[in-house]
Chains A and B, each alone.
Chain A
Amino acid sequence: MRLFRTTSRQTSAAPDSPEAVVADGLTKRFGDFTAVDAIDLSVPRGEIFGFLGPNGSGKTTTIRMLCGTIAPSGGSATVMGYDIATQPEKVRDNIGYMSQKFSLFQDLTVDENLRFYSGIYGLSAEGFAERRSHILQMAGLVGRENEMTANLSVGWKQRLALGCATMHRPQLLFLDEPTSGVDPTARRQFWDLLYELAREGVTLFVTTHYMDEASHCNRLGFMYRGRMIAAGTPSEIRGMCSDQTILAITDDDRERLLDHLEKQAVVHEAYLSGASVHAVVDSEEVCAGSTLSIDSGDLRVRAAACVEADLVAAGFAGARAVVVQPTIEDVFVHLVSQERERQG
């Protein structure tokens, strides 16, 4: 117990900075390809920061730079107050990291994995005993200490990986797609564990492409083609396309519906979202161009009615269109298409 208090005191005694992560123009180039293009970041201590973006947008490269495993080509960053370029060892002592591969040694037992990581982080015997029982309990692996890790199902592996990554009680934890390939129940359980860590004051830096997980975060950053194209709290992000109307349209044949909507000039964007197709429109434009005349009610509702009528006329007999509040996903689709237009 004492050992951990000392460890955490050491951590907080590090160069005092209210921010867990600060990046300034951080850049990584691989040959001609710029994987991360001058991004700025600021993550206050104790926050859950959601780092979002499609595959290949530079999230993992950014994390690897922040963890001190690869050197940046430009810009600078401090992690827990330590410079990633000049003090990578200090950085690694003070962070935890968990990747989507749950990098456990599959051919070692649960206990051996714990023992290994505890040794790597230099825990004392009593320190290990305390952490071990805590982690086994947290992961629900009490009584299964001698089981081979390879035989555990995904959810257990994931929790054991979290345990190993937090063996030394880091105050900052990087999680790179920690829930990919995990079923929804296990995902929810896992987020409960993350919340618990956050309550203890641990800063969490999480990448994910599950948009529902984004709403669990205090703050979001969205990466696209190596650049940070949006950042803010979830509600700030949602407000970013208030000038647009989002319609959720349902029909029996979603694919054909999507095809049709993509060809309509008034529909700015159309994409599958859950059971429906989301269409982004400008309400005034839709109503002005429609032959249908509804004189009362909200402009957006009228736009929905117009689109629905057009669809029925086009042969989608069962089509229904309703106005929905933009989700974070809607905003990102919007931002990405804006960015694409901007870049040509």
Chain B
Amino acid sequence: MSLRRIRLLIWKEFLQLSRDRMILPILIIMPLLQLVLFGYVVGADIKDLRLAVLDRDGTTVSRSVTEAFTAAEYFKLTVRAHNDADVQRALDGNRASVAIEIPKGFADQVERGESAQLQLIVDGSDGRVSQMAGAYAAGIVNRLNTELYPRQAALAKGNVGIDARTRVLFNPAVRAINTMVPGLLAFILLISTSAIMSQAVVKERERGTLEQLFVTPVGRTEYLTGKLVPYALVSVVQASVVFTVGTLWFKVPFRGSGFVLALGLALFLFTSLGMGLLISLVSRTRQQAQQMIIFLQMPQMILSGFMFPLEVLPKWLYAVTFVVPLRYILVVVRSVFLKGSGLAELWPQFAALTVFAVGIFALGLSRFHKQLSD
């Protein structure tokens, strides 16, 4: 091992990186782009759902129902319908995605303290919209109940002591972005690190410089160190950018310890580097390596809980998620960010991450040595 040679290899790698017109923008722009896309689009709460109202009652009470819906920023009144056909047209023509129908006699029923019916019609063609609209509406109706039936509400509360409201812990505003940004921290580390690492070795093999280096005094460990260090440094910069923008711009709270977060990400970094190295070794060309990365990205995104909760998966698919390293780091980053969890709570995830980091990295190393000596 010669430090001087390693330094030289790192210098060379950075020079090459700085000359690659494709890689550098990808390294800097990709994380920011993903932050914006995921942060503003995927992570955003749905607002201003277009609402159609068919008020057959036309009383103060019925108007207060409409007001309750439009008061929150979740719904925006776009259509005032006069009959069923109006409602149908509004939904068909995409002018409304939710409609409420207040039947005649609604106010009378309320006044008499009888249960009154309110029909909510939701456009089911967008699953996310219908889910959210249902949830929002339920919340609003809940609140309406306490206003319109003060006596009954007090009674129910006093008698049975049931509180129907769900209390949301850790993420009281239920800001989707609060779970999205920590997740992105891990996800970006995964895709960019494994993507550039996968190019690193196969590129040199294609050009013959790998072959050349191994007839010089450069040793295998030196070569590998010279490859890994630059990309690890790049990843650290990327993670810092995402962290900074996430906490300062998107105002995601960070309640845990920086050390625990860094430790988790470091373990995950080794896993990603190892994965990239493996791909680089089994691919014959750069293009092949790239395709393999893309091929592996989608399943990891879905089978890790990054975009969809793991609970929605069928049992057999759920079993697969245990071998997806991203699954564990996601729990770590989200818990450290939002709950302030430490190693005491997160040790199972850390154990799993250590196994993956050591296992995958060792596999990459042994494959590297084997391939070069054959």
A104 to B15 alpha-carbon distance, docked (Å): 14
Chain B residues near A106 (CB-CB < 8 A): 207
Q: A105–B8 contact, CB under 8 A?
A: no
Q: A97–B215 contact, CB under 8 A?
A: yes
Chain A residues near B4 (CB-CB < 8 A): 119, 122
Count contacts on B: residues with CB < 8 A to the other chain: 24
A112 to B20 alpha-carbon distance, docked (Å): 16
Query: Interface of A with B (CB < 8 Å)?
Result: 30, 67-71, 89, 92-93, 95, 97, 99, 101-108, 112, 116-117, 119-122, 148, 174
A116 to B214 alpha-carbon distance, docked (Å): 14
Residue from B211, B215, B374 with most neighbouring chain A CB atoms (10 Å): B215
A103 to B219 alpha-carbon distance, docked (Å): 17
Main secondary structure of the interface of A (DSSP, over half): loop
Chain A residues near B219 (CB-CB < 8 A): 89
Ranked 8 nearest A-B pairs via Cβ: A101-B208, A103-B212, A103-B208, A97-B215, A119-B8, A107-B19, A67-B215, A103-B209
Q: A93–B217 contact, CB under 8 A?
A: yes
Say yes or no for B373: interface residue by CB 8 A criterion. Answer: yes
What distance in Å separates the Cβ of B366 from its nearest Cβ neighbour in chain A?
16
A97 to B2 alpha-carbon distance, docked (Å): 21
A70 to B210 alpha-carbon distance, docked (Å): 13
Chain B residues near A69 (CB-CB < 8 A): 211, 214-215, 372-373
Contact of B16 among A99, A107, A119 (CB under 8 A): A107
Say yes or no for B218: interface residue by CB 8 A criterion. Answer: yes
What distance in Å separates the Cβ of B25 from its nearest Cβ neighbour in chain A?
16
- How many A-B contacts at CB < 8 Å in the complex? 69
Could you tell me which residues of chain B, from 204 to 254, have a CB within 8 Å of some CB in chain A? 207-209, 211-219
**Residue contacts A-B, CB under 8 angstroms, 27 given:** A69-B211, A69-B372, A70-B374, A89-B217, A89-B219, A92-B216, A92-B217, A101-B207, A101-B211, A102-B208, A103-B207, A103-B208, A103-B209, A103-B212, A105-B16, A105-B209, A106-B207, A107-B16, A112-B15, A117-B216, A119-B4, A119-B8, A120-B5, A120-B213, A120-B218, A121-B216, A122-B2
Q: A97–B207 contact, CB under 8 A?
A: no
Chain B residues near A117 (CB-CB < 8 A): 216
What distance in Å separates the Cβ of B87 from its nearest Cβ neighbour in chain A?
64
What distance in Å separates the Cβ of A123 from its nearest Cβ neighbour in chain B?
11
Q: B217–A120 contact, CB under 8 A?
A: yes
Chain B residues near A103 (CB-CB < 8 A): 207-209, 211-212
Chain B residues near A71 (CB-CB < 8 A): 373
The residue of chain B having its C-beta at the shortest distance from the C-beta of A98 within the complex is: B212
The residue of chain A having its C-beta at the shortest distance from the C-beta of B208 within the complex is: A101
A112 to B207 alpha-carbon distance, docked (Å): 17
What distance in Å separates the Cβ of A202 from its nearest Cβ neighbour in chain B?
16
Chain A residues near B209 (CB-CB < 8 A): 103-105
A89 to B2 alpha-carbon distance, docked (Å): 13
Chain A residues near B2 (CB-CB < 8 A): 122
Say yes or no for B367: interface residue by CB 8 A criterion. Answer: no
Additional A-B contacts beyond A103-B209, A108-B16, A120-B5 (20; CB < 8 A): A69-B373, A70-B373, A89-B217, A89-B219, A93-B217, A95-B215, A101-B207, A101-B211, A103-B208, A103-B211, A104-B209, A105-B12, A107-B15, A107-B16, A108-B15, A108-B19, A112-B12, A116-B12, A120-B217, A174-B215
Q: B208–A120 contact, CB under 8 A?
A: no
What distance in Å separates the Cβ of A95 from its nearest Cβ neighbour in chain B?
7
Chain A residues near B215 (CB-CB < 8 A): 67-69, 92, 95, 97, 174
A101 to B209 alpha-carbon distance, docked (Å): 8
Produce 1/0 per residue, B14-44, CB < 8 A to A: 0110011000000000000000000000000
Known: A105-B12, A122-B4. A99 touches B19 (CB 8 A): no
A105 to B4 alpha-carbon distance, docked (Å): 19
Residue from A69, A106, A174 with most neighbouring chain B CB atoms (10 Å): A69
Known: A99-B211, A105-B12. A120 touches B216 (CB 8 A): yes
Known: A69-B214, A103-B212. A116 touches B8 (CB 8 A): yes
What distance in Å separates the Cβ of B327 from its nearest Cβ neighbour in chain A?
37
A120 to B226 alpha-carbon distance, docked (Å): 12
Contact of A119 among B5, B19, B213, B214 (CB under 8 A): B5
Chain B residues near A174 (CB-CB < 8 A): 215
The residue of chain A having its C-beta at the shortest distance from the C-beta of B20 within the complex is: A107
Residue from B2, B214, B372 with most neighbouring chain A CB atoms (10 Å): B214
What distance in Å separates the Cβ of B212 from its nearest Cβ neighbour in chain A?
3
A92 to B216 alpha-carbon distance, docked (Å): 5
A337 to B39 alpha-carbon distance, docked (Å): 71
Chain B residues near A120 (CB-CB < 8 A): 5, 8, 213, 216-218
A101 to B19 alpha-carbon distance, docked (Å): 21
Chain A residues near B8 (CB-CB < 8 A): 116, 119-120
The residue of chain A having its C-beta at the shortest distance from the C-beta of B8 within the complex is: A119
What distance in Å separates the Cβ of A278 from its nearest Cβ neighbour in chain B?
35
What distance in Å separates the Cβ of B219 from its nearest Cβ neighbour in chain A?
8
A142 to B79 alpha-carbon distance, docked (Å): 78
Chain A residues near B211 (CB-CB < 8 A): 69, 99, 101, 103
Chain B residues near A104 (CB-CB < 8 A): 209
Chain B residues near A108 (CB-CB < 8 A): 12, 15-16, 19
What distance in Å separates the Cβ of B214 from its nearest Cβ neighbour in chain A?
5
What distance in Å separates the Cβ of B144 from its nearest Cβ neighbour in chain A?
67
Contact of B217 among A101, A102, A105, A121 (CB under 8 A): A121
Residue from A71, A99, A105, A117 with most neighbouring chain B CB atoms (10 Å): A105
The residue of chain B having its C-beta at the shortest distance from the C-beta of A176 within the complex is: B211
